[in-house]
Amino acid sequence: MNNTANSQNGSCAFITGAASGIGLSTARLFLEREWSVVLADSDAERGQAAEHELNGTGKVLFVQCDVGRSEDIPRAVAAGIERFGRINVLVNNAALLGPGDLLSSSDADLEHVLAVDLFGPLCVSKYLINHMIKLGEGTIVNVASISCFTGSPNYPAYAASKAGLIGLTRSLARRYARHNVRVNCLCPGSVRDTDLRFRSTKKRYSADEELSLMKKIPIGRTLQPREVAELIFFMASPAAAAMTGSTIVLDGGEMLGL
């Protein structure tokens, strides 16, 4: 599929967790294909830097939005609609790994992970679906994780939240398909060059950990954020017009090695 075939002039994507990693790569890809993009992220410094980097065309708006705080969401959505007139696509990408060991985790920390990783997508969807119905079209892509299927001994709240996104995806798909609003879920495996682990634990993978992970992945490497972004774009595009309620795994065969 070439850029011309995939461009939709006047269309706009609202991407959460858009200041880095998968979210930023997805924003770049939509912009390359002539979409407008709302970058929603809780990190104002990085979000403003991303807006400055990408805003040569005037098609980018950064809105500071912590999707774990319900009061942030309607303001961010309204700002995007006011700027671009319409939001056709929602990419629910923002996430936290959260605390590791369950037994030593505080209730507040666990609640925060659930708020960002599950309540956030639910709430952002709530505020955008009515707008999409009025437009006569819309697509939501929920970015989950292969931990939906494998579980995560180190991050149980994260895995539980991501598994919940599959139920949310199917529920919204069933309810709103007749309104021409499609909802699908993408479950990536390990992705390189994201700061998800560091933001949650302040730790990066050691060389030994990286090597151990590579040995478990049949293709011999982790995913690039751009590869995930390409699939998100396909799921959001007219090429996937008959797809709703689906859950797709993109993991280089990682689950096969676990």
For the annotated catalytic residues, the residue numbers are 158
Cβ atoms 172, 129 nearer than 8 A: yes
Angle, helix 44-54 to helix 21-32, in steps of 10 degrees: 20
Closest CA to 235 of 138, 121, 150: 138
What gap in Å lies between CA 117 and CA 160, rounded to an integer? 9
Task: Give the start-end residues of each E strand in 17-149.
Answer: 36-41, 60-64, 89-92, 138-143
Closest CA to 145 of 93, 197, 181: 93
Mention every residue, 6+ apart, whose C-beta is less than 8 A from residue 116. 66, 67, 68, 94, 95, 96, 161
> What phi, psi does 100 have (nearest 5°)?
-85, -85
Q: Specify burial of residue 134 (Cβ count, 10 A radius: 0-12, 13-18, 19+).
A: exposed
Beta bridge partners of 63: 40
Angle, helix 72-84 to helix 120-135, in steps of 10 degrees: 30
